[in-house]
Structure 1
Amino acid sequence: MSEDSGIGQDIRALRLTRKMTLEDLSKAVGKSVGWVSQVERNLSTPTVDDLHNFARILDVPISMFFGIAEAPEQERGVVVRASARREIGERDNGLFEALVSPDLTDDFEVIHSTFLPGASLEKSRQRATSEVVYLISGTLDIWIADQMFTIQAGDSFRIKGSKYRWANPYDDPALAIWVISPPVY
């Protein structure tokens, strides 16, 4: 595995997005700076327990570090096949998400979300991000800063550091593409 692909690059990208130094992360996981550096460069392989620690400290679901599909060398970091997308998120509340971006090393990430009928996020969330969402199909209710909008296929919306929540009280799944900066997964 090359230095510019795999779990290590994602750990590094997440660390940098959170403005953590190698020393900050190494202290938090209880490992040496050298070991964390080797993990980030894919020279050392973290255990499942290590990945759980990284996920907790970097505030991402553990699933972020699994399901990285092998790809032909010329496609790595460039092409993401539909069958090779990394499933991310907790899969709670009837929301299924997959990473469309090749990795987390850009200034943004692209997420494909499926909101199942009857699914909802009851408690508002707030992230220090700018997010633009395009609804591919279905209908979704979204509350941004406590203002409710009904979004339909072809509509888009932006969340810029505001509290938000969502619900799909409709009969069909709602499919959306999110562009998030900086990456949060």
Structure 2
Amino acid sequence: MIEGIGKKIKELRISRNLTLKDLSVKTDLSIGFLSQLERGLTTIAVDTLYTIAEVLGVELSYFLSSPKQNKKLVLRSYEKEVFQIYSNQFIYYNLTNDIEDKVFLPRYIEILPSNNEEDITPYNHEGEEFVYVMEGILTLVVNNEKYELYPGDSAHYDSSIVHNWANRTNKTVKLITVHTPNMFRK
């Protein structure tokens, strides 16, 4: 597994036009350690790998996911794994076994209740999004307009428009999303 992590670090570093010295300066890790890591000759602590992931602009899970040799067409409900937890509130599951070879990214997301009453901070990015609420009430902000989406409701919008979602209730919101472009595509 460590060889795979090192290989991914090297590929990302090179694709971002960083030298080992550049990465060393940005992560506060020695060039020798990074070189050994890229060659699979040493192990790495998760918190140190997290620092490298931040500098290279990827999620920690990017390094920990193992490539599946025979990618199955069907993903059974019991095979779904937590892909990412964001801000201790958003739990992401991918709905495909073939995340790197597809144009769009389907996900199942659970948004835990939030006590934070501050306004939602909208952001934008390339692509488009489709959201389908399965359970709970989702607060969706698109172009500074707030919408409450209930189970069975959906929204489809251009991601270049400022947007965000939140759970302003005391129950978990469950939704399915489809995003383009797929940020994990090779």
- TM-score with structure 2 setting the length: 0.63
The residue that corresponds to 2:15 in the other structure is 21
Cα 1:47/1:122, change in 2 over 3 Å: farther
Amino acid in structure 1 at the alignment position of 2:167: N
Determine which of 135, 148, 151 is the counterpart of 1:150.
Answer: 148
Determine which of 117, 132, 135 is the counterpart of 1:134.
Answer: 132
CA distance in 2, matches of 1:107, 1:8: 26
Cα 1:141/1:22, change in 2 over 3 Å: closer
Deviation string for 1:48-99 (max 9, x for gaps)? Answer: 4774354213433324433x3786x5445x443443424213242x221122
Give the deviation of 1:135 after TM superposition: 1.2
CA distance in 2, matches of 1:12, 1:110: 28
Alignment of 1:12-161 (within 5 A): 21=15, 23-24=17-18, 29=23, 44=40, 47-48=44-45, 51-66=49-64, 68=65, 73-75=69-71, 78-81=73-76, 82-92=78-88, 94-102=89-97, 103-118=99-114, 122-130=119-127, 131-157=129-155, 158-161=157-160
Amino acid in structure 2 at the alignment position of 1:146: N
The residue that corresponds to 2:28 in the other structure is none
Structure (1 or 2) with the larger CA radius of gyration: 2
CA distance in 1, matches of 2:181, 2:159: 11
CA distance in 2, matches of 1:55, 1:64: 8
The residue that corresponds to 1:164 in the other structure is 163
Q: In structure 2, the residue corresponding to 1:126 is in which secondary structure? A: coil
Q: Decide whether the 8 Å contact of 2:124 with 2:163 is kept in 1.
A: no
Amino acid in structure 1 at the alignment position of 2:144: D
- TM-score with structure 1 setting the length: 0.64
Amino acid in structure 2 at the alignment position of 1:153: P
CA distance in 1, matches of 2:178, 2:6: 22
Cα 1:75/1:110, change in 2 over 3 Å: same
The residue that corresponds to 2:181 in the other structure is 182
The residue that corresponds to 2:27 in the other structure is none
Count of aligned pairs between the two proteins: 169
Deviation string for 1:89-111 (max 9, x for gaps)? Answer: 3242x221122232233222222
CA distance in 2, matches of 1:105, 1:179: 15
Cα 1:128/1:70, change in 2 over 3 Å: closer
Cα 1:101/1:10, change in 2 over 3 Å: farther
Give the deviation of 1:126 after TM superposition: 1.9
Q: In structure 2, the residue corresponding to 1:161 is in which secondary structure? A: coil
CA distance in 1, matches of 2:122, 2:177: 15
Gaps of at least 5 residues in structure 1 are none
Gaps of at least 5 residues in structure 2 are 25-30
